[in-house]
Chains A and B, each alone.
Chain A
């Protein structure tokens, strides 16, 4: 079971909103929407692992850090994201990171925690 962490990205949110509209107009069932989201989780995890090959460096000041249920949450201030091609500076950025070690099994609880952790900070 893949992390549901990526549902809170622009892509994931757009997908959820579209699914909600379809449910509102009763064009699809909620069960189908859930299945779509699960498929999205698998797809995004696979894509990020296999189809992305870039590297990013960043530096900043740590405002807060939190480690709960194997989920790290940081809030950094005055961060510079440096990539080969470009440099981006942001005043504040939040990082939500789930356990990415291949050794640890990705249980449903971890997936849910990652999703909740990421979703919680958006509200």
Chain B
């Protein structure tokens, strides 16, 4: 998958502008409900935007992308974004946004540090550029701080902004994504933890490190949600095979352990038992001497008693 390596990073700032608008819109909607931004609910379309032509889709944008609006506001998208291409005029993919309203409520009580600049959403001109839809992981983070950012990321594709803005927004998102990370062939969330490629910004390295936990969750859930249809059969076969292999691996291991374990029970499981009291137990190097008394011996199916017993043994 190509991310437009020939794009210049000068457009990065424009991209940042756009995303800042998006973030602010989301936040404003959360707290004031003054903007006519619709949350998609399995049927409605939140927003559409356009991407510049020439990009090879699907486009994967890693998490931690910092975007700045024209007004200077900085927005940080802490979720990986995947932009997939849809036919012209098609409504944005009716992504299941069941959790959006929940996020809204979860993040509502939490204040944000974004300066309140009124930015109204604009209509999208999709005449010349095919509408794009962004697929994103559907994960709710426990912390409200993250919830807001995730909310932004989730609602990012559904905002209606200027064509000029969003053409460069996603464009820059595409470029800003680290090309050196080596995106895998699947069009899903990119896993940023682990050994990452050359990163231009430190944020992208720090964010994945900090968010390794929920990134894993995002990846897991995204894999499930987005690849259900395609990999359901494959996943089942793989899981079953893995389970089978695991079971097979366990048996040899257990058998090895059983050999050792059997010795110990057998060692102590004997019919010849002497229950008694000891007067003195003496040891000299490996020579043991026993002075026992008042004992009952059971061996050969017969019981013997003694008042005193003296024995020697070498260990």
Residues of A participating in the B interface, judged by any CB pair closer than 8 Å: 3, 5-6, 8-11, 45, 48-49, 52-65, 67, 72, 74-76, 79, 81, 83, 88, 90, 92-101, 118, 121-123
Contact = CB atoms under 8 A, between A and B. Distances in A.
A111 B233 CA distance: 63
B281 A95 contact: no
Contact of B277 (A58, A63, A98): A98
B105 interface: no
Contacts of B293: 100
Contact of B274 (A3, A48, A65, A96): A96
B314 interface: yes
A6 B274 CA distance: 10
A14 to B, nearest CB: 11
Interface of B: 267-270, 272-279, 281, 286, 288, 290, 292-300, 303-315
Q: Per DSSP, are chain A's interface residues mostly helix, strand or loop, or mixed?
A: strand
Given A55-B307, A62-B288, 16 more contacts: A5-B275, A5-B276, A48-B305, A55-B308, A55-B309, A58-B290, A58-B312, A75-B267, A75-B268, A96-B275, A97-B281, A97-B292, A100-B276, A100-B277, A100-B294, A118-B275
A57 B309 contact: yes
A49 B294 contact: yes
5 contacts: A9-B296, A93-B270, A94-B270, A95-B290, A97-B275
B298 A10 contact: yes
Contacts of B290: 58, 74, 95, 97
Contacts of B311: 57-60, 76, 79
B40 to A, nearest CB: 65
A93 B313 CA distance: 12
B194 to A, nearest CB: 48
B299 to A, nearest CB: 5
Given A55-B307, A121-B268, A9 B277 contact: no
